[in-house]
Amino acid sequence: MATDRKVSTCLWFDSNGEEAVTFYTALIEGSHIGKISRYGKNGRMPEGLAMVVIFDLAGTPYMALNGGPVYKQSAAASIVVQCKDQAEIDRLWSALTADGGKEVMCGWLTDRFGVSWQINYERMGELATNPDAAVGARVMAAMMKMVKIDVAELERAAKG
């Protein structure tokens, strides 16, 4: 089973993909679960376990595959969320680092399912690529010292 879209991202899980997708779609506004296919009798995983879950996060298509312990998630690929303000950053950060998630740096974290996320400020690109190179340098220097993104600090750095 694939998505209805020409291009999507597949996230490989051992056996908790449906749990992860349920969590993600409840957390990210404008997200939903589409189709779910389940393993049948004599499958490589327990009968009834979700094999593939088709979902989208705020309009971006994904597929979760419960394929067993063959592959693990890695920070080499991450889900990027552009947040409008500190409250949204704080809400997502708190939820995604709960129950075994880990803070990394510069707005990156790994959730309890092993998926890597970048919880970013939606104006970060604009601030970091300001036509005044000194502004961009200050913003990037400030961000490099952060674990969770601090919007007020980024805006202060941009103003000098």
- CATH placement of domain 73-160: 3.10.180.10
Coarse DSSP helix, strand, coil percentages of the chain, rounded to the nearest 5 percent: 30, 30, 40
Is the distance from CB of 160 to CB of 142 less than 8 angstroms? no
Q: What's the CA gap between 135 and 124, in Å, rounded?
A: 12
Report pLDDT for 104. 98
Nearest to 86 by CA among 109, 107, 56, 100: 107
Provide the terminal-to-terminal Cα distance of the chain, rounded to the nearest Å.
52
Q: Which band of pLDDT confidence, cut at 50, 70 and 90, is reported for residue 152?
A: very high
User: What whole-number distance in Å separates Cα of residue 32 and Cα of residue 78?
Assistant: 19
Mean pLDDT, residues 28-56 taken together:
96
What pLDDT digit, counting tens, does each position of 80-132 carry?
Answer: 999 999 999 999 999 999 999 999 999 999 999 999 999 999 999 999 999 99
Tell me how far CA of residue 32 lies from CA of 27, 110, 145, 153, in angstroms: 10, 22, 35, 33
Q: Enumerate the domain spans of the chain.
A: 1-72, 73-160
CATH of domain 1-72: 3.30.720.100
What does the mean pLDDT of the chain come to?
A: 96
- Taking 70 as the threshold, does the pLDDT of residue 2 lie above it? no
- The residues with which 56 forms a beta bridge, in sequence order, are 32, 61
